[in-house]
Amino acid sequence: MASVTLLEIFLAIISFVVVRVLLNKNGQPIYWPVVGMLPDTLFHLHRAHERFTEVIERSGHTFFYLGPWFSRVKLLGTVDPANVHYIMSSNFSNFPKGPEFSKIFDVLGTGIFNSDSEWWKNQRKLAQALINHRRFHQFLVKTSREMVEKGLVPVLDHVAEQGSVVDMQDLFQRFTFDITCILVTGYNPRCLSIDFPEVEFSKAMDDAEETLFFRHLTPEWFWKLQRILGIGQERKMKKAWKTLDRTSAEYISRKRKQLNNQSPFSSDDRSEGVDLLTSYMTETQIMGSKPNDKFLRDTIVNFLLAGRDTTSSALTWFLWLISKNPQAETKIREELKASLPETEAETWRIFNPEELNKLVYLHGAICEALRLYPPVPFQHKAPLHEDLLPSGHRVNPEMKIVLCLYSMGRMESIWGKDCLEFKPERWITEGAKIRHEPSYKFLAFNAGPRTCLGKEMAFIQMKTVAAAIIHNYKVQVVEDHPVSPNISIILQMKHGLKVRISRRWI
C-alpha cells in the first residue's frame, strides 16, 4: 500500500510540473516551490543574456526574480530608462553598490569600483584629479600611439606574413593589458608579442572574473563553503588572488626603487607625462598624505581590471560587427582617407588621437558596438531604504536591483524597431555632428556621479586601434567561426574571434 502511495505522489508531482510548463504560455520563468526560479536559470545558463532580454521585454522592462527559499536571492531586474535615471542620478544616495557587492567583489579590496559613501567620494576625487591632469593626458596620447605602432602593428604584420589565423580577442586583451599597465604603473609587461607568452597576472584576472560571475548565481553560504574547503570556483579565486597580490607588490616595489634612485622631477622630465602610480606616490598636494601599499595594491587591481577587459571587449565586438557590415567598414575607411592629405590617403598610416577626434562616423560605429555589446553587461545596486521606483515597483534593502545593459540595447521601445541592427548612423545628427544620447539610455560608461572616469581614455585607445586596423589591413573572420557571448562579468566572446589578416599597403 505504501509503494502505491509513493507512486501516486511521484505521478502527482510529474503531472504538476507538466501542467505548469504547458500553461506557461508567456514564456516567463516559473516560480517553483523550494527552488524558486533557479531551474529556468540553469536551463538557460548557456544563453543567459538572451534569456534575460526575452524575460525583461515580456515583463514591460522590469522583472522580479526569486531564487531558492534557502538562498534569500531576490532580484529586481530593470532596463526602464526612468528607473535607471532615478537609481543612478536623481536618488543616487539611496542606491549604493551595497555590502553584498563588496562581499562578492572582495578581490578588489577597497578600491574605487568596490567602495561607497565618503571613501568612494575621496577616491574618485583623487582619481579624477590625476586622470584629468595635463601630464597624464600627454602620457595617454603618446602611449596610445606608440603601443599601436610598436606593439600591435608588428604582431599584425607577422600574422599577415605567416598567413596564419589569430584570435583577435586574445590579441586585444594583450594589447590593452600592456597599455593599461604602462598607463597605471609605468611598466610594460610585453604581453603582446609574436610569441604570445602567457602572462600570469592576466590569467589570474580571467579566473577571478569567472568566479565573480558565479558568485552572483550561488548563495553566499555556498561559495564561502567552497572557499573554506578549497574547491570549485573558489579554489581558482584563491590562486588568482595570490597572483594579483604578488604582482601588484612587485609593481609597487619597482616603482618605489625607481623614484628613490632618481633626482626630483624637473619640468623637462615630465614633459611627456607620467603614469598614475607615480602620481599617486608623489603628488602630495593632491593625495594629502603618503598612500600605503594596501591602497596602492587595490588601486592597481581596480584600474587594470577596468582598463584591460572593457576596452578589449569593446574592440573585439566592434571588429566583428564591422566584418559583418562591409558598408560601415567602407564608410569608416573613406572617412579616414578624407581626413588625410591626398598624397597620404593610399599609404600605410598610424593616426594621432587628435586627428581621430574629428571623425564622426568612426565615433558612431564605436558607440553602436557599445550599445549592442556593452563590456559590462549588467551591474547591481542595493537600496538603503525602502523606495518606490518610477515604474511603480517597490524595492527594499533585502533586494538587489540589476541593471541589464545588454538587454537595454535590444529594447525596441528604447532604440526603435531597428534596435537589433548595427547602424552607426543613429549616432549622427542631420547636421553631420555626433548625436548625444542620455546616459540613462546609453549606460556603457555608467551614469550620474559614478560616470566612468576613463571614458576619454577608452575612446582614444579604441579609435587609435580601429583606425590603424581598418586603414591598413583587411580582416576576414574565419568561415563558420561560432560567435556568442560568454558567461562572465565582462562580455567577451565565448570562443574568441578567429580571423585572417592581410596588409592593404606594401
pLDDT in tens, 432-479: 999 999 999 999 999 999 998 889 889 999 999 999 999 999 999 999
The answer, as to whether pTM is greater than 0.85, is yes
Q: Under a CB-based contact definition with an 8 Å cutoff, are residues 143 and 179 in contact? A: yes
442: DSSP letter: S
Element (H, E) at 500: strand 498-503
Query: Could you say which DSSP state residue 60 is in?
Result: T
Residues in the chain: 506
pLDDT value at 139 more than 80: yes
Task: Show Cβ contacts of residue 484 under 8 Å, excluding neighbours closer than 6 positions.
Answer: 47, 493, 494, 495
How is residue 205 annotated by DSSP? H
> What pLDDT score does 241 carry?
95
Average pLDDT score over residue span 27-38? 82
Q: What's the pLDDT score for residue 307?
A: 82
Contact predicate 497/167, CB 8 Å: yes
Angstrom distance (rounded) from CA 489 to CA 224: 19
Average pLDDT of the chain is 87
Do the annotations mark residue 191 as ligand-binding? no
Interhelix angle for 326-338 vs 293-324, to 10°?
A: 110
Task: Output 394-402 pairs: Cβ under 8 A, ≥24 positions apart.
Answer: 395/76, 398/72, 398/74, 399/74, 399/75, 399/76, 400/74, 400/75, 400/76, 400/98, 400/100, 401/75, 401/76, 401/77, 401/78, 401/87, 401/95, 402/75, 402/76, 402/77, 402/78, 402/378
In the chain, DSSP finds a helix count (H) and a strand count (E) of 21, 9
Question: Residue 21's pLDDT is what?
Answer: 46
Domains and CATH numbers, the chain: 58-260+271-503 (1.10.630.10)
60-97, pLDDT tens digit by residue? Answer: 899 988 888 877 788 899 999 999 999 999 999 999 98
Q: Cα(47)–Cα(50) distance, rounded to whole angstroms?
A: 6
Cβ atoms < 10 Å from Cβ of 423: 19
Which contiguous run of DSSP H or E holds residue 406? helix 405-408
Q: Is the pLDDT of residue 3 over 80?
A: no
